[in-house]
Structure 1
Amino acid sequence: MEEIEMEMEIGTESGLDRVAMVEFFIHSAELLQVSAIVKYSAFSFFVDRFFPSLPTFIEAGGTSSSSWLLRPLTQNTFHLFALISLWISTKIHYSRPLSVASFKSLANSSIKEHHFTTRNFLEAEVLFMQVLNFEIGTANIAFFFLQELWVQFKGVAKVGELISIEVCMDIMDLLYEKEEMSVHFRSPKSLAASILVTSYVITVPRQKWEFPVLAWVNFVTSCKEDDITKLVTRILEHVLGPS
């Protein structure tokens, strides 16, 4: 509870608009034409880990916590850190990662209120890594499990061909915008299962609902059907609005 309150305080002090922040991230990923795994690894670094960990990092009061990048926190610096997360992700997933020049060029055109130098990017990268405690594993992210489930589902069910991974990703992007849904990204396997089921409900015509999708995801992921059903209901409310 304290951690959530601290996150809210940071958002208030910096004038942070979560929807605008996520939209900036998605737009930047599109302009840079990064792969899906790069995008969602970076999303996990930035939204799931950096943002929730930042209050504790600042409160700890180390030397880096007094960096000019954090004092004061602004929407511009959060945009910079969004680009940093994408840059780090390309270093992990690409044999030839995108250059700092490409990110600096994007920042120059997208962040009008501040001119960030190459040195600023390097400083921000070090600070970003310190907040994450230099832990940048990507195996335990929702998209990783979702992609695996989607491939498996297409292999066992004929209706699997009707489900588009793009629809699944659109749902995931929308959930990232919703602050009240962000907690579910901390349970990536159940979230992935729920997104797949939501996509099934949205995409597959009702007359073709013959495959026992809930039982299948329960078997594959060991997630409880009741938990998935509840989360699917919540996701549908956000995607389609209350019924």
Structure 2
Amino acid sequence: MTETKKIATNEQIPSSSSSSPSRRLQAVKFLINCADQLKSSPIVKYSALSLFAHRFIPHLSSSRYRNTHHHWLLKNPLHFPHLQLFSLISLWISSKTHDSPPLALKTLKSIGDQCIKDQHFTKTDYLDAEILFLQSLNFEVGTMKNSVFLVIQELTLKLKEVARVGEMVSFQVCCDVMDLIYENDDISRMFVESPVYLAAAVVVAVYAMTVPKKMCEFPVVGWVNFVTGCREEDVMWVVKLILQHVVG
């Protein structure tokens, strides 16, 4: 468990790996907003965030991106409307993986026409962007195994089984906290680096925020240590970061 460096911002996605994606935060917020408008299931939403924020955006700073991509949608530096388009593509791919039937292209384009203000994209652009997105991932979409989302889901269910106050630790509130975590580069890196620690800390943070003080008798930190094997001091360090960001 180590602290991570802040990501700076600029107007466009730069090519240098030493610089960060300019509008990463805005693009992530855009993705979350579109997922909510589309009423995407949590697993679709967080799978899309994982594909987009943890795999596609880092690819934009890689040498492979700089040396191999010449398509106008990936022209370097990448403009923000193009980044918005690729965030929608991550939702589309995630829906194809987890939904039956998946999100229709017509619906996806409709939300894009509504929310992408500075550029219009055709259906062909969406199809091209999907191929480019998949190529950037080497067509390896992967699974959500051991993701923060699934670990939180499991922990909240188990907490309800062992403690009455578990009913107060809402899974939806945990998801709301996850959305806010994506706004903080330091914490959001833990989605990849320490998913179980982050999941444990989210559950503890929501417990602290939602369970009345007079009912906080259940040793939730010790319990997550027992269930996950995460060191209590490390969990509390992440909890502090989360609470400072969410309520501070």
Query: Which residue number in structure 2 is paired with residue 207 of structure 1?
Result: 214
- CA change 1:60–1:21 in 2 (3 A) is closer
Map residues 79-228 of structure 1 onto 2, 5 A cutoff.
79-137=84-142, 138-186=144-192, 187-228=194-235
Aligned mates of 1:149, 1:66 — CA distance in 2: 45
**With structure 2 as the length reference, what TM-score do the two structures score?**
0.88
> Could you tell which deviates more after superposition, 194-203 or 131-140?
131-140
Q: C-alpha offsets along residues 147-169 of structure 1, whole Å, 9 cap, x if unaligned? A: 11111111111100111112111
Query: Which residue number in structure 2 is paired with residue 70 of structure 1?
Result: 74
Shift of 1:16: 3.1
CA RMSD after TM alignment: 1.9
Query: How many residues matched?
Result: 234
Contact 1:57 1:131 in 2 (8 A): no
Shift of 1:224: 1.1
Shift of 1:22: 2.2
Shift of 1:27: 1.3
Contact 1:16 1:74 in 2 (8 A): no
- Letter of the structure 2 residue corresponding to residue 159 of structure 1: V
Query: Which residue number in structure 1 is paired with residue 17 of structure 2?
Result: none
**With structure 1 as the length reference, what TM-score do the two structures score?**
0.90
Identity over the aligned pairs, expressed in percent?
A: 46
Aligned mates of 2:198, 2:214 — CA distance in 1: 26
Shift of 1:60: 5.4
- CA change 1:117–1:25 in 2 (3 A) is same
Q: C-alpha offsets along residues 132-190 of structure 1, whole Å, 9 cap, x if unaligned? A: 22222222321111111111111111100111112111111011011222211112111
Residue segments in structure 2 that go unaligned for 5+ positions in a row:
14-20
Contact 1:21 1:78 in 2 (8 A): yes
Residue segments in structure 1 that go unaligned for 5+ positions in a row:
none
- 2:45 matches 1:39: yes
> Could you tell which deviates more after superposition, 79-88 or 216-225?
216-225
